[in-house]
């Protein structure tokens, strides 16, 4: 009897969770709020371009790396485990990342006019889980950059930083690059119909001009601007 009650409660909880996710998906679609995934290897310039997008469009910027670092900074046990994984250059389990993203999206919902999801998905199944549990992405921007350039940029950032990131050292950068190389082609293949690849070897502002063209076009398609594309 007790077992049956427990099972019924679990089923109810799962149903409620599913209904809530569905409501969120519908609200998002109805509001026409753009969701953009920002992808690229470590140091390709994701954060730099996101800052410029926020300045121009006022979107909500959610960086999976920043959300994880906030959890680490909280000093929790979970944070310590996350730090270990991040310092090894591997991927944190998706349940952790998606739950942080989901909560942050929930907090911004209602006041946001667009979401920039920076550094997510890092592998194919992360993308599938996001679209299943949160909402479909409208556009994927992939910043393509040579390995040597990315390493140089991160090393320069580390040299200039007052507080250096724990994963900004040569050994971890190599490991982050390996993780990135192992997973990225499968993501690009799966989302090829909505991915824009941008050459990120160029000057920040030149890159941004291409970003603007893509976002303006998306906003027009979603009926959020009068401009055609």
Q: Indicate which single residue of 34, 40, 114, 127 sits in contact with ligand AP5 (rule: CB under 6 A).
A: 40
How far are the Cα atoms of 71, 91, 99 from residue 96, in angstroms, in the given order?
10, 10, 5
DSSP element (H, E) containing 38? strand 35-40
Q: Indicate which single residue of 47, 54, 169, 212 sits in contact with ligand AP5 (rule: CB under 6 A).
A: 47
Question: By CB under 6 A, what part of segment 143-182 binds ligand AP5?
Answer: 153-154, 156-157, 167, 176
Per-residue b or e along 12-38, where b marks 16 or more CB atoms closer than 10 Å to that residue's CB = eeeeeeeeeeeebbeebeeeebbbbbb
Question: By CB under 6 A, what part of segment 111-150 binds ligand AP5?
Answer: 119-120, 122, 126
**Is residue 32 within the footprint of ligand AP5 (CB under 6 A)?**
no
- Reference 107, options 70, 142, 139; nearest CA is 70
**Is residue 221 within the footprint of ligand AP5 (CB under 6 A)?**
no
**Is residue 44 within the footprint of ligand AP5 (CB under 6 A)?**
yes
H helix runs in 32-169, sequence order? 46-57, 64-73, 77-88, 94-108, 124-133, 147-160
Question: By CB under 6 A, what part of segment 57-96 binds ligand AP5?
Answer: 63-65, 68, 85-86, 89-92
List of residues contacting ligand AP5 (CB under 6 A): 40, 42-48, 63-65, 68, 85-86, 89-92, 97, 119-120, 122, 126, 153-154, 156-157, 167, 176, 200, 204, 207
């Amino acid at each position: 009897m007790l077992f049956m009650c427990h099972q019924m409660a679990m089923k109810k909880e799962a149903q409620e969770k599913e209904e809530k996710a569905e409501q969120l998906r519908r609200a998002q679609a109805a509001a026409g709020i753009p969701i953009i995934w920002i992808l690229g290897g470590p140091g390709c310039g994701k954060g730099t371009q996101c800052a410029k997008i926020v300045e121009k469009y006022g979107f909500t910027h959610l960086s999976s790396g920043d959300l994880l670092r906030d959890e680490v900074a909280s000093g929790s046990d979970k944070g310590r485990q996350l730090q270990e994984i991040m310092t090894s250059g591997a991927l944190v389990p998706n349940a952790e990342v998606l739950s942080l993203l989901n909560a942050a999206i929930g907090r911004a919902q209602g006041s946001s006019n667009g979401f920039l999801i920076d550094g997510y998905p890092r592998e194919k199944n992360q993308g599938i889980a996001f679209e299943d549990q949160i909402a479909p992405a409208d556009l994927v921007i992939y910043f393509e950059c040579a390995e040597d350039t990315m390493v140089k940029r991160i090393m320069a950032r580390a040299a200039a930083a007052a507080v250096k990131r724990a994963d900004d050292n040569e050994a971890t950068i190599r490991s982050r690059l390996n993780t990135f190389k192992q997973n990225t082609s499968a993501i690009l293949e799966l989302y090829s119909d909505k991915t824009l690849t941008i050459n990120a070897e160029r000057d920040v502002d030149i890159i941004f001009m291409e970003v603007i063209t893509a976002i303006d076009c998306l906003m027009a398609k979603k009926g959020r601007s009068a401009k055609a594309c």
